[in-house]
Structure 1
C-alpha cells in the first residue's frame, strides 16, 4: 500500500464529489428559477389572458362553463412548466465526474485490499515479518563472536620430540 496513492485517490474522490454537487446545485437552482419565473408568468400574464378569454367565452357559453375551460387550461400550462423545470440534468460534465468518482472509489478499494492482505499475512505468520529484522543482526553477532573466539584462542605449540 502506498500512502501517496491513497492521498491521490482521496483528492480525486473529494474533487469529483465537489464537482458533482456543484453541477447538481446549479441544475437545482436553474430549475427553481424556471419554476419561479413560471409562477410569475402564471400570476400576471394568465390573469390578462383569462380575463379576455372569459369575456369572449361569456358571450358564447355561460359564465360557469367559461371559467371551467379557463381553469383546465391553467392546469395544463402549469403542468408543462413544472415538467420543463424538473427534467434531470444531462451533460458530459456530470457523466465525466461520475466516472472519475467511480474510478477513485475502485482505486481506494484496491489499496484497502492490499493493506488488508499485508495485515492478514503479518497476523497469520508474524515470524515472516519479524524474521528478516531479527535474522540479520543475529547472524552479525554470531560472525563477530566466532571471529573473536578464533583471535583469542591460543596458537598450538609444536610438541617436543622425545628422541
Structure 2
C-alpha cells in the first residue's frame, strides 16, 4: 500500500512539473531573437495557449550575434503590450492569418512595434511583418513576412538559432 502511494505521489510530482519551450527567430539583416517560455502542464491539453497560460516568458534580441535588448513578463510594466498565441500540439506560434487577427504575438511591442519603452525591447508578429521594437522605435530592417515560421525546441537555442546539444 505504501509503495503504491509513493508511486502515485511520484507520478503526480512528475506531471506537475512545468514545461519549458525555447525558441529562436531569424529576422532580416542579422537580427535574431531567442526566448524561453514556461507553461503549466495542465494547459498543454488545450488547443491554444495564450499569455494567461504562461508562467515565465523572456526574450533577448540580437544584431549580428550581439545582444541589443531583453524583455520578460515578470518585470514588465502594467501597461506593456503582452499577447501570445501558441499551438502546443504543433509547437508553433500562430500567425495573424491563422487566427484572423491583426496581431498574433505582441511581446512588449504593439502592432506598430513602437511602444517598447526607452530603453526597451519588444517583438511583434502582425499582419504586415514580424519585427522588433528597440528603444521605442520600430526596427523595420529586422522584418520578416508574417507567415514565416520560427524554431521552437524543448532544449535551449543559441542566438544564431542552433539547438544546443544536451550534455550528460
TM range (shorter): under 0.3
Which has the larger share of strand?
2
TM-score by length of 2: 0.21
